[in-house]
Chains A and B, each alone.
Chain A
């Protein structure tokens, strides 16, 4: 659908500048493209390829490896219900069945209004808070059917807009390296030991 807009292009170049090799910025740039569009289009991936010096096929090869990248539009809210052991022991199958009923979609489906996509996810690192789920990767601990209903209601009415941005926006704070403080990427052809390492101690 689209290439990076001007602001994001500036940001993309800044991110690339932090790595010794541009291709290392592939995943961060794919996240940026997904933030702009909500999913990854062929054109966006081609733009990423152009920027990191890879072919579009290489970028697609990387993107398709990772769960979080979506190649078709998903709902504004991606609901991931954890199904791994601790959450399963805590009743995640029942929560998933309830979610399917309330949203009227099966796992993998998106509601007709384009608001919700439902997925079964793997371990979300909140195992003591079973059953756990995420909305756009924001944790929701110890979910019950009632809490799920209330959450869906809150999301529908926009009451959670303040803390749960639309799908694609991963973190609302980005790293900013002030130019005067930046060391810059360690170039691969710079073969010398760092300045603070006395020559006699080389090898540590």
Chain B
């Protein structure tokens, strides 16, 4: 008798270095006992034996690219805080909700102490007065595991007053989200943590480093980013940069889902693994399901412009993928095989972003919803060719100018990464258009076939 599955989707059966998932195979990976037995909190001891500036230098030297989506190096981000302004805060971004992405949830559920230790290292290095660990509301298991881990760590003296008998003291407060994708944007995260609606703040400043939580200097780091720090402190930045490439050192977690034989979450060597390896490799997804053909894939979370078989040999590396017109985002690949109804697939993403618009910016609030409705009409077979032009026009009002996309040889390697320009405060608006633009550009015939025979639509059908 089969049962409903509750297990994680993490797969490790290849000979790959492990930095953040080294305990995932252990049944009790999330307990303090197991963490200590496998070298846990040794990195914190190493850090405390050095000066904060030395620890910061080590992290800067490792060039840990932020794993939340933007890929900004953590050590550099920390350095953006103005000198002499205190208190400073750290907000751990555990509000993972980009379509296709899940790694932070696994890191919180399966190795919460690693995240706590990483947060402590950050707090020590740059003098953070308090850490807020913001976990997405719809992840109760992550809450329970992190809460339990924090409770254990407090009692054992790893968190709180005079950590390990030193003058380093910091509280880590577990904070609950309540369901809003846009809160993953760091200034929206801060608004939410202040008890307000999760609406992104106007830029500049582009980073909350100077003016963040309560107007104070604030670092917002992703869960995976911080989970790398214990390994870096224990093994050194020099060892870290030996893994991966010069521009993308270390490893990173990638979720590959959709129409593949073996979907899974993998920790891969950064910058060298190609999309072909990930989708077809024996150590990874083992090809398209049922021996089908690949039609398209989303390379970096729901916001990313799509790729086709043409880009399979690109490595999973931020700069190269950016130059090819898309982005790695949060490390999520979604694969569509040849049976996929492309307009309907694009609709599942556009609906997501339209639904998640916070409503501040008119182009996103109105445009996203409009895009969704027009696309729904096309998918339902009630669209006209004018609808296709309409969608491009709406998209242009959110992202003016030429929208970069993967398949365009005109752009070559000089293409501007997504998005080129936008009329909104944050990326939610452009993200609603990205799937529509990719689908329309890569598969115009599927849209043409949908609207071809429909000359006039009944008035009652117009929404």
Contacts and interface: CB of A to CB of B under 8 A. Distances in A.
Interface of A: 18-21, 23-28, 30-31, 52, 54, 61-62, 65-69, 80, 83-86, 88-90, 121-130, 134, 136-143, 147, 150-151, 170-178, 180-188, 190-198, 201-204
B315 interface: no
Contact of B140 (A69, A171, A177): A171
A84 B101 contact: no
Given A89-B345, A203-B83, A170 B143 contact: yes
A44 to B, nearest CB: 14
A29 B124 CA distance: 30
Given A26-B196, A84-B348, A184-B171, 12 more contacts: A21-B195, A24-B195, A68-B178, A85-B345, A86-B99, A86-B263, A122-B181, A127-B101, A175-B174, A192-B86, A197-B127, A201-B52
B144 to A, nearest CB: 4
Interface in B236-285: 255-259, 263-265
Given A83-B351, A138-B141, A182-B171, A54 B195 contact: yes
A126 B102 contact: yes
Contacts of B308: none
A181 B172 CA distance: 11
A186 B173 contact: no
Interface in B335-370: 336, 340, 344-345, 348-349, 351-352, 355-356, 358
Nearest to A141: B5
Interface in B167-189: 167-171, 173-181
A124 B193 CA distance: 21
Nearest to A83: B348
B81 interface: yes
B259 A89 contact: yes
A182 B173 CA distance: 10
Contacts of B6: 138-141
Nearest to A123: B99
A80 B140 CA distance: 14
Given A66-B198, A123-B97, A204 B81 contact: yes
Contacts of B460: none
Given A129-B9, A143-B4, A24 B171 contact: no
10 contacts: A23-B195, A25-B195, A27-B176, A122-B352, A127-B255, A127-B258, A127-B334, A128-B9, A129-B5, A194-B168
Contact of B144 (A172, A177, A197): A172
A19 B51 contact: no
A28 B302 contact: no
B17 interface: no
Nearest to B2: A147
Contact of B177 (A27, A151, A203): A27
For chain A, what secondary structure do more than half of its interface residues adopt (helix, strand, loop), or is it mixed? loop
Of A25, A136, A172, A193, which is in contact with the most chain B CB atoms at under 10 Å from its CB?
Answer: A193
Contacts of A140: 4-6
A62 B127 CA distance: 31
Contacts of B129: 186, 190, 194
Sorted nearest first, the 6 A-B pairs with minimum C-beta distance are A203-B83, A67-B179, A186-B129, A26-B195, A66-B178, A128-B263
Contact of B198 (A65, A126, A129): A65
B137 A20 contact: no
Contacts of A197: 52, 127
Given A175-B173, A204-B53, A85 B298 contact: yes
B24 interface: no
A203 B84 CA distance: 6
A171 B144 contact: yes
Given A20-B214, A141-B6, A202-B84, A130 B257 contact: yes
B4 A88 contact: no
B371 interface: no
B350 to A, nearest CB: 10
Nearest to B358: A65
B215 to A, nearest CB: 8
Contacts of A203: 81-84
A128 B284 CA distance: 12
B100 A85 contact: yes
A31 B83 CA distance: 37
Contacts of B2: 147
Interface stretch (B66-74, B150-158, B407-415, B425-433): B150-158
A89 B340 contact: yes
Nearest to B215: A188
A184 to B, nearest CB: 7
B332 interface: yes
B147 A178 contact: no
Given A25-B195, A85-B348, A195 B176 contact: no
Nearest to A187: B87
Contacts of B179: 66-69
